[in-house]
Structure 1
Amino acid sequence: MVDLPGITRVPVHGQPDNIYEQIRDIIMQYITPKESIILNVLSATVDFSTCESIRMSQQVDKNGERTLAVVTKVDRAPEGLVDKVTADDVNIGLGYVCVRNRIGDESYEEARKEEARLFETNAHLSCIDKSIVGVHVLAQKLVRIQANEIAKCLPEIVKNISAKLEANVSELEKMPKALTSDADATQAMMRIIQAAKESLKKLLWRGEFDEYPEDNTKHGTARFVEMLNRFSDELHNCEESNLSKDFLTEEIKGLEDAKGIELPNFLPFEAFLRILRKKVERISYLPIKFTEKYWDYIDDVVMSVLTRHWEMYYHVKVFAKGAAHNLVQKLREQSINRVKEIVEMEKLTGYTCNPDYMMEWNKLMKEQDHFINQISGTNMGPLPCCVNLQGFGEIQVEHLRQHSNVSILQQAFALKMRMVAYWKIFKVRLVDSMALHLQYHVHNLVHNDTDEIMKELMGPDGHGIKMMLVESPAIVAKREKLKNSINVLKESKDSAAKVMDRIAVYDAYLV
């Protein structure tokens, strides 16, 4: 039971200017919780509907389900009081109790006798039901209301205590036991490494996310597919994949640079290779950027997994994360070098055994005669500034009319179509190569390379084992805190059960 201060609107005797706001906030703090019973003290001399305390209690208890009104000073305004407490215009759900205040030096017993006489003899007050008059009735009612509220709240309180107790016991059981020997430390280290290794296999290889169901950033296999798809989109939408820009310009220049003593109308392979090298060089940053980004992601996942598994061994956790980071950086460097080799291999020569290459080239070459005629003007009519070419759309051709040699245009067109057909094969092959290469390295990481972390932790002098034997002060403190909390929760649970038993006995006594 909390005796809250009365509402004061005008500061007096040095009170702060915001005394009303301070008192209002204190009152609202205590009457807002749903477990609180609001004992609203009203003077019989005022209109209940205008009382500030009624307005405040209605803000948090609109239906008055937990509000009990005590009407004081009944001897000063007895007229019409029976109507005010029976009409209940202000929604007092727990009802009213009318009492007489002590006057002067009256003892408690004298005040109660005078109160009983007043409600018996006063013409206006004697009409009020005896079940709602007197301090003794108020006391009984408060005890009964409090018992009911406790009985209502206790099951939920006990449930919460049990849940918290179970959680703390579970957390304590998961905490590592204090290690006392090198053998215990070695077994614990191997167990943690294997658990971390299994977690990495799940996330980065098998696609099992039960350990991180809500954290999508750790779903390695899914994130790899997303990154691979973004790389593929960048490759297919980059400038080098724009087929119609400056149509045949690069091919004509390549043919002119590759001129030599050779058979007429012979398409030099060197011209094709020069263009291919330039195109591959201009996109070479994409697979490297993708590889760097993927290994950065792998590093984040590995760090997160190791942090979780080594959480209870702070000294070893820092060392393990350093060892894992070094390992990932080494693999990252190896992977980037391999990707650079893949790119360099594509520059060496143009080759594919994919039959789609010849099929695509033959299909594209069917447009050659129509295209050349539109440029050279062999057809009657005005020369178009654009030509619609299947697979390319509208192509600007004005810049090609400066080349009067039709043979050069034919060779350039054939060279362009070879490059277009081959570039499709190249892009798919590069994406596939990246996917297989990175999957291979991740497989080695989670199945084999993580053993290097164990070797580095063990060390030649067994420094990792020594660190395992040193418990962090935070872990010691956490273990003690959990033990104390478990003891308190057990005592609280027992106390709550005893209270519920006493309430049951009290209810039986009332019956």
Structure 2
Amino acid sequence: MEALIPVINKLQDVFNTIGSDAIQLPQIVVVGAQSSGKSSVLENLVGRDFLPRGSGIVTRRPLVLQMIHVDPEDKKNAAGEGEVEIEAEEWGKFLHTKNKIYTDFEEIREEIQSETDRMAGTNKGISPDAIHLRVYSNKVLNLTLVDLPGLTKVAVGDQPEDIELQIRSLVVEHISNPNSIILAVTAANTDMATSEALKLAKKVDPDGRRTLAVFTKLDLMDAGTDAVDILCGRVIPVKLGIIGVVNRSQMDINNKKNISDSMKDESTYFQRKYPALANRNGTPFLAKTLNRLLMHHIRDCLPDLKTRVNVMTSQFQQLLASFGEPVEDKSQTLLQIITKFASDYCATIEGTAKNIATAELCGGARICYIFHETFGRTLDGIDPLGGLRTIDILTAIRNATGPRPALFVPEVSFELLVKRQIRRLEEPSVRCIELVHEEMQRIIQHCGTQELLRFPKLHERVSESVTHLLRTRLSPTNTMVENIVEIELAYINTKHPDFADAAHINAMITEARKPNKSPLDSKDLADKLAKASLQNSTDPVNLKDSWTSGLLKGGRTNPPNATPRSVSAESIGGQTPPVPGSPKVERREAQGINLLPGVPDLPVARKLSPREQRDVDVVSK
């Protein structure tokens, strides 16, 4: 049974080192109000002065105190491997200072104080990070206790305003562990019904099966009163019992009274004041009771702890096995991993990857879809005259003629309006670049091989490097598209065959509008225009294949063959929005992403004269 506590201590050190709280180990948690005597109780159990003293809150970090009984002939084994035999009978070791041995308990106090200030600061604040201290002695029993900051009500000095809530939350976190024994310390010179320690203990342990009450300062009770009813459990029953102790007074501490002398005075006090209860009270009886309770508690918790430890061991062994063999040549392994990542990235784009997704398009297939479907349909669906009102054309012509009417339509107005329409191609092109950039970033997630995932930090750095590289190439690509558009705007090629076709159609339109034309001539002209329209419609580049029908009606319409090729003529601009539920709406919704926002066409405010209509037709057609 005595060997159980050292085993739990080793487990506790292991879990504290790796920073895991997956397993709640059996331990004794000391809870009490500020200045209730918790530190004095712990020092009496150890038999040495080692805890910081002072006014106000002194314990500002949890102190995990492991008391280990060491026989004089077993000092070397207790010190640890590689350590020389220790001459002192009692010594201490901190977990954060590794194998450093403290034989002077005054140094232990200073180390606790400095470590507390390092983590919790010097403003009387608290920290949940625990300090782990082992005390080896032949005068102690095997025990593990956790000393917590004392419960307080009001912030003092530089303490935070919510110091009460912080301490209460810290205490509740520790005593809520179902495997912990609660040591509720209460001063006997206060009303037991107002004990904050017993209140919190009852909150997390309603049945009282793991609560032990300790009453301090029995010698400071008012004259004419005693603690018989309290120690017998008649006032507030506690299942694990109520034990009274008498600690050193502040004067004794200032006079450096020896703890062994204090314990003799404690025994004399109980024999004189409570002779019937003397054998069931005092610090020696408290130490034996805690040792017995902890061993039995560990025995009860051990089967479940063993099962959980075995499960965790199996899980971490599988995780360790998934990491593969140890890396011997780091440079070679790094080069192989990066080369494999680059190959997988290229294979995903080219469509030769081993794991091809079937749920959605990805990699090169999605880039192809963006270029040929999304971007291509958007360009095909752009109305050359979208967003260009008739009044705008007429205004441009008039502004280009100056103070007197011109005999011919000025070319300046034509180039001005054409450049304005060409500029509309830049926005869907830039959006296409963004879509391709996003897809190339998504490819990174498909290239996480098992070898690369084995090293999370390397995976993160590789992803950051590729993302940064793609981001640096985004700006030059946008600049290239802008330059292409600027090149097209710099020179308008009027020798293109489309301009010859437009001039031919304009001549026929002018001929048709002459007032002396017979109906037969008009019919012949309509046939010629229909043939011209049919010829233009066979050219996939020509976007003017609907001029004939538009001009015959005295206006313009969209190309008849543009509907199945475009993303949505109505959504890109130039026409009245269709009625929801119509075939045009359904066709538009089925095309996918729209890269160009639409601009509605506005009607002309007045009727144009024949000459104005002719000039507008020359520029726009």
Scaled to the shorter chain, the TM-score interval is 0.3 to 0.5
TM-score normalized by the length of structure 1: 0.45
TM-score normalized by the length of structure 2: 0.39
Q: Of the two structures, which has the highest relative contact order with CA contacts closer than 8 Å and spacing of 6 or more?
A: 1
